[in-house]
Amino acid sequence: MSKFASLLALLAVVPSLAYAQSPVYGQCGGIGWTGATTCVSGSVCSKQNDYYSQCIPGAGAPGTTVAPTTAPTAPATSAPGGSPTTGSAPSAPSSTPAAGNPFTGFQVYLSPYYAAEIAASAAAITDSSLQAKAASVANIPTFTWLDSVSKVPDLGTYLADASAIQTKTGQKQLVPIVVYDLPDRDCAAKASNGEFSIADGGAEKYKDYIDQIVAQIKQFPDVRVVAVIEPDSLANLVTNLNVQKCANAEATYKASVTYALQQLSSVGVYQYMDAGHAGWLGWPANIQPAATLFAEMFKSANSSPFVRGLATNVANYNALTAASPDPITQGNPNYDESHYINALGPMLQSAGFPAQFVVDQGRAGQQNLRQQWGDWCNIKGAGFGTRPTTSTGNPLIDAIIWVKPGGESDGTSNSSSPRYDSTCSLSDATIPAPEAGTWFQAYFETLVSKANPPL
């Protein structure tokens, strides 16, 4: 085994602070960090956020670089919508939404940020077969998370790049984003990582965040944008109002999401509100209240046809169609995402919301892995799932998508971290794990090796 491979193996079992220098993908700084602040040869200490700096291979470390001028173009076979239209420059979208599935006929733009993460990760793998499979993930489209105001300017860079690709090739481009920055975000989580607080003017700051996104999109009317709106937010209002922070946030969540829906509709963004997953809102006691709430939000956005529907299973592990119910789902007739969607869809229609769905299958390749259905953090043995496609086999489902960039950690297992959530130390979580959103090399390699269908 090479010295480099040995370091990677040791990283899986030994905390970073045991090293004089932090190993590749180990922590090298951040609030409260007392371990090594330099990295082994061949890697650079790169600030990911205030709480976490990470040793990234090479000088072009993800998180410190800007988007490349030319991003790789997604092959038609890997993007929802099938083969894109070619041969003529696309026209700017009308303020009236196109009929039908917004993914159809469009090529999904590949995130340069994620592509850079994949390239660095693949370069660190010594097994040639696994390395080739890992590198291929860069050609699979995933969503770009705008989880802080500082990331909004990146959207303009990506839209400009997509517009240039579109002009050059004649292939219509679709940029997928996640809007995720509500004040008092993740109100029922044990450790929220949001940047806005309701008590500190968060509602107005959120409006400014949305306004900045709208301003970026307005500059590129020729590029289609599809957005997943605020993962976990509205679902918390269905089941977690007994949590004081959620009860306090209810009015602000509704007003803020309404503002986002209305403003993004004004610039032609196709939107899917996050609707949790089968193991959250699919239970008989939750599903009708969920339908009522989502229909209310749709109407609060003036029933805009740009509010296309709902997104399910975001950053989760549920099967679209399970061969048999996972034992953890016992008691819930909606034991997979298809059952959940087929039950929820008619309820929404009856309430005046003709919703369509998108379903995240990015990490759903393996099943029967969790001890409890609510476990969500870096689940052991998970694999990449069904590739993004519009061939869903269900008229209610517009597309299978990858929302969560596979390889980015769900949360840290370091109990001394200010952002620690004990869920990330459960027996079915992969340990040790870095901070949420930072690269988790060992976990990425598992997702690649366990991919189903295989990469």
283-296 in b/e form (b: 16+ CB < 10 A) is beebbeebbebbbe
Q: Which DSSP string corresponds to 64-75?
A: TSPPPSSPPPPP
Decide: 42 and 57 in contact? Cβ < 8 Å.
yes
Residue 181 annotated in ligand binding: no
Q: What share of the chain is helix, strand, coil (3-state, %, to 5)?
A: 35, 15, 50
Measure the CA–CA gap between 369 and 325, rounded to whole angstroms. 12
Measure the CA–CA gap between 390 and 398, rounded to whole angstroms. 6
Measure the CA–CA gap between 32 and 51, rounded to whole angstroms. 7
Residue 84: DSSP 8-state? P
C-alpha 96, offset from chain centre: 28
Residue 33 annotated in ligand binding: no
β-strand 52-57 against 43-49: which pairing, if any? antiparallel
Residue 277 annotated in ligand binding: yes
Question: What H or E segment, with its residue span, contains residue 45?
Answer: strand 43-49
Residue 434: DSSP 8-state? -
Decide: helix, strand or coil at residue 268.
coil
Residue 408 annotated in ligand binding: yes
Structure tokens at 234: 């509205």
Active-site amino acid positions: 186, 232, 410
Measure the CA–CA gap between 138 and 141, rounded to whole angstroms. 8
Residue 326 annotated in ligand binding: no
Residue 378 annotated in ligand binding: no
Residue 257: DSSP 8-state? H
Q: Please enumerate, by residue number, every residue annotated as part of a binding site for substrate.
A: 145, 147, 277, 280, 316, 376, 404, 408
Q: Please enumerate, by residue number, every residue annotated as part of a binding site.
A: 145, 147, 277, 280, 316, 376, 404, 408
